């Protein structure tokens, strides 16, 4: 009997969380080994580790408590990685040296897998004078471009790294450029961006008053607040960014307002953090805790919930001591405040299982009750740990108990804190759980609604064959197991049928008992009017949310996953040149990881003699056979001319990597053939070849023709087929950058692949 509720869950575990040797040999032989590894690592700092290891294992068992991905993958290994998900970097000084010191710190943090946030409001605006040099400042956006380039370099060095969040205050003189920066498709691809919106600004918007853009003591210009608000709204309406962070509310409600000021968040927004702030994440799987589902007696055993929360808090507190940190400042900050972010996943499934419609008033009330119960249990558990191990070092009883999120806490909880102190400064957060939700059996993600009741994914096997499997929502599968083909009840709703205000209602209900913040995407229909769209943000502000992120499918953002009743036809590929849509060559498949290389491959070696060159270039192209068809697998480019060494090695690696990813790779030919050398080309066999790279492209083209991969000269694709994809029914879709499937959706502010679990936000 497998512990996994769905095939995709086991595949995600094997691909992302299973500990393996460097050669891919599994160390974790089973999911129980993974749970045991995590339990042992988190119990290692206890005075009685064996007892706590068993308790921690019991919490992990059957996916009841889900530590975030970095803990699940990294705990108990010898890898030099951090177990913390979220970092906000230090305040950026407004000096060239300080800015590039910050860039170095960001690179070191991303290298270990952390997602980072930065406030760029501290950098002087474009055109401001720079003392000591006869120049004007280039502004914060120019330095964001540098950060973006760094992130791209770090990611290209190996496995996927953390994403980045950039924030800017609504009164910074460059805020208008910041708002529209990502309308350029080539810019800031590795950033999420959010505007820090103040209460004063929101009041000015409502009053249609003036708004000053300032830096330091200088007012650069005055604009209408409502004009700036409309510009923010128009950009997110069209491009899904920037997000909006209600920064004053965050600071007012912060338990640590007496010793820190927050100006940035982690990439998905659920964790507002001070300079060098760090937080780790974990989720209670509510879907696994429902008893007697689909009956009048369905519910969650609150005593079991309390016990699970208490164990999870202790595990997460131990991670603070067990984790590595990229920077000493991050370690000092984490241990001084011992922040943790315990949240939930499977909320929508749990609501379905007890008979409530997501977005209804009763579902909102039940959500608030469950989150209240979790907050109570978390704070009481932290107080008990404090009585044993001590409070977090910066704890001040009077100031802590007077903080915004403690004001409405139950008296018995405040009494326990007053008596024992508290171990962790902040305890609750609702994070993106896209991948770990798949791993837990495709439960609904975080506090999001069920996205799709079921969909079909294609899985490429190691031998090159493809299989199809149905991926079913956890609650839907439970319904099927009990009632067979009986129609789903009316209260079963998904993200496609909900109104935006239903989302806001649920986010606001959860926020009351979450001391940090919530990662949540409010899905809006494509045809929502602009004024109605703006109302969503105003409602989020008025109902107590700490931020707001929306997603409206359109020509720019792409569409969310299309759920179809009929089997889809092969997707068409649209050339970026504007040519008519073309069917990809053969049966195109994109692979999520390189295929294993067989011991032997067949291939050809070609000699290329470039005129006026002392040495020839030799190209060896080896092929692999998949489904009876021959396709290129790798290339080797060699020359005795040492001046060619660097670029031939680079081409060898890059082209081979493209070949091994699968799909129609003939666009490589056209890209190389289009390269012109400004020093001039050469005549070869009666044709003018514009560069030596174009000549290499020609050799590759002849090889692809010879093996039947393309039909003839000039018939390769003109662009990467993953660049712009139209699915079978004409709705826009974006291909997953990891596996190439067209099953991506917006989850808590991050595009996430339902097929392989990839998300740029981790």
In tens, the pLDDT along 69-103 reads 999 999 999 887 889 988 999 999 999 999 999 99
Distance linking the first and last C-alpha atoms of the chain: 30
Q: What is the pLDDT of residue 238?
A: 93
For residues 209 and 227, is the Cβ–Cβ distance under 8 A? no
What tokens does 648 get?
């031939």
| Sequence-separated (6 or more) residues with CB below 8 Å from residue 11 | 459
pTM: 0.79
Between CA 373 and CA 520 the distance in angstroms is 21
Q: Is 382 left (phi over 0), alpha (psi -120 to 50) or beta?
A: alpha
For residues 359 and 449, is the Cβ–Cβ distance under 8 A? yes
Partners of 625 in the beta sheet? 630
Q: What is the pLDDT of residue 596?
A: 66
Between CA 360 and CA 363 the distance in angstroms is 5
Q: What is the pLDDT of residue 594?
A: 56
| Sequence-separated (6 or more) residues with CB below 8 Å from residue 509 | 364, 365, 367, 368, 371
What tokens does 740 get?
């190439």
* DSSP codes joined into one string, 69-126: HHHHHHTTS----BS--EEEPPPPPSSHHHHHHHHHHHHHHHHTT-EEEEEGGGSPPT
For residues 596 and 462, is the Cβ–Cβ distance under 8 A? yes
Partners of 606 in the beta sheet? 619
Catalytic residues: 266, 268, 270
Cα 608 off chain centre by = 44
Profile the chain (762 residues) by mean pLDDT over runs of 10 residues: 85 92 91 97 96 98 95 90 90 94 90 86 93 82 90 57 87 97 85 96 98 96 98 95 97 97 94 95 97 96 96 98 93 97 98 98 98 98 98 97 93 98 98 90 95 82 72 95 94 92 98 96 93 98 96 73 40 32 39 63 89 82 83 88 82 87 82 78 79 90 90 73 40 55 64 68 56
Whole-number Cα distances in Å, 19 to 12, 74, 75, 728, 730: 12, 8, 10, 38, 41
β-strand 572-573 against 617-626: which pairing, if any?
A: unpaired
Picking from 561, 558, 540, the residue whose alpha carbon sits closest to that of residue 549 is 540
Cis amide bond preceding 735, omega within 30 = no
| Sequence-separated (6 or more) residues with CB below 8 Å from residue 458 | 466, 467, 468, 589, 741, 755
Between CA 424 and CA 384 the distance in angstroms is 11
Between CA 223 and CA 211 the distance in angstroms is 5
For residues 114 and 160, is the Cβ–Cβ distance under 8 A? no
């Amino acid at each position: 009997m497998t512990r996994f509720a769905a095939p995709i869950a086991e595949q995600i575990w094997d691909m992302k969380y299973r500990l393996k040797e460097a050669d891919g040999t599994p160390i974790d032989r089973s999911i129980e080994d993974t749970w045991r590894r995590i339990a042992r690592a988190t119990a290692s700092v206890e005075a009685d580790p064996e007892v706590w290891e068993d308790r921690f294992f019991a919490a992990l068992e059957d996916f009841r408590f889900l530590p975030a991905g970095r803990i699940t993958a990294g705990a108990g290994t010898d890898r030099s990685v951090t177990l913390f998900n979220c970092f906000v970097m230090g305040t950026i000084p407004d000096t060239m040296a300080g800015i590039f010191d910050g860039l170095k710190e960001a690179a070191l943090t991303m290298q270990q897998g952390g997602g980072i946030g930065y406030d760029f409001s501290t950098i002087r605006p474009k055109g401001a004078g720079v003392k000591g040099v006869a120049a004007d400042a280039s502004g914060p956006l120019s330095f964001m471009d540098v950060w973006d380039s760094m992130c791209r370099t770090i990611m290209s060095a190996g496995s996927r790294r953390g994403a980045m969040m950039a924030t800017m205050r609504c009164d910074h003189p460059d805020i208008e450029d910041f708002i529209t920066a990502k309308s350029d498709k080539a810019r800031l691809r590795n950033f999420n961006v959010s505007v820090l919106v103040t209460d004063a600004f929101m009041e000015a918007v409502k009053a249609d008053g003036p708004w000053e853009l300032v830096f330091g003591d200088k007012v650069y210009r005055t604009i209408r607040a409502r004009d700036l608000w409309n510009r923010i709204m128009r950009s997110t309406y069209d491009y899904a960014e920037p997000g909006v962070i209600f920064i004053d509310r965050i600071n007012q409600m912060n338990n640590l307002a007496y010793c820190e000021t927050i100006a940035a968040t982690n990439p998905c927004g659920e964790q507002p953090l001070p300079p060098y702030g760090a937080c780790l994440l974990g989720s209670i799987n509510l879907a696994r805790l429902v008893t007697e589902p689909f009956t009048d007696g369905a519910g969650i055993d609150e005593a079991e919930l309390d016990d699970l929360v208490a164990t999870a808090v202790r595990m997460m507190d131990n991670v603070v001591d067990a984790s590595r940190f990229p920077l000493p400042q991050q370690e000092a900050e984490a241990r001084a405040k011992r922040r943790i972010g315990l949240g939930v996943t499977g909320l929508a499934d749990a609501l379905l299982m007890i008979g409530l419609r997501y977005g209804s008033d009763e579902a909102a009330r039940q959500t608030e009750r469950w989150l209240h119960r979790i907050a109570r249990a978390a704070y009481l558990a932290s107080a008990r740990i404090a009585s044993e191990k001590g409070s977090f070092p910066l704890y001040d009883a009077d100031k802590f108990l007077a903080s915004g999120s403690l004001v409405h806490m139950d008296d018995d909880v405040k009494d326990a804190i007053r008596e024992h102190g508290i171990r962790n400064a902040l305890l609750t957060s609702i994070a993106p759980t896209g991948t770990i939700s798949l791993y837990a059996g495709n439960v609904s993600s975080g506090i999001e609604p069920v996205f799709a009741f079921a969909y079909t994914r294609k899985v490429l096997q190691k031998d090159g064959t493809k299989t199809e499997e149905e991926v079913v929502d956890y609650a839907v599968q439970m319904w099927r197991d009990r009632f067979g083909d009986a129609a789903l009840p009316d209260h079963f709703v998904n993200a496609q049928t909900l109104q935006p205000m239903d989302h806001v209602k649920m986010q606001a209900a959860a926020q009351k008992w979450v001391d940090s913040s919530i990662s949540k995407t409010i899905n809006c229909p494509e045809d929502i009017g602009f004024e109605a769209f703006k109302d969503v943000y105003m409602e989020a502000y008025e109902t107590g949310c700490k931020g707001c992120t929306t997603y409206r499918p359109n020509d720019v953002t792409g569409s969310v996953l299309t759920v179809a009743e009929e089997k889809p036809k092969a997707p068409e590929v649209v050339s970026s040149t504007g040519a008519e849509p073309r069917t990809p060559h053969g049966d195109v498949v994109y692979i999520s990881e390189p295929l294993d290389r067989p011991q032997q491959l067949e291939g050809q070696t070609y000699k290329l003699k470039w005129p006026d060159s002392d040495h020839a270039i030799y190209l060896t192209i080896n092929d692999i056979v998949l489904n009876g068809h021959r396709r290129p697998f790798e290339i080797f480019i060699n020359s005795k001319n040492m001046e060619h060494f660097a670029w031939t090695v680079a081409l060898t690696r890059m082209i081979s990597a493209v070949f091994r990813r699968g799909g129609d790779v003939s666009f490589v030919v056209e890209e190389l053939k289009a390269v012109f050398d400004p020093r001039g080309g050469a005549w070869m066999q009666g044709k003018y070849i514009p560069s030596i790279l174009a000549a290499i492209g020609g050799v590759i083209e002849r090889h692809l023709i010879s093996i039947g991969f393309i039909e003839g000269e000039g018939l390769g694709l003109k662009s990467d087929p993953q660049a712009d994809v139209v699915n079978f029914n004409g709705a826009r879709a974006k291909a997953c950058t990891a596996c190439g499937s067209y099953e991506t959706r917006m989850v808590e502010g991050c595009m996430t692949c339902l097929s392989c679990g990839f998300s740029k936000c981790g």
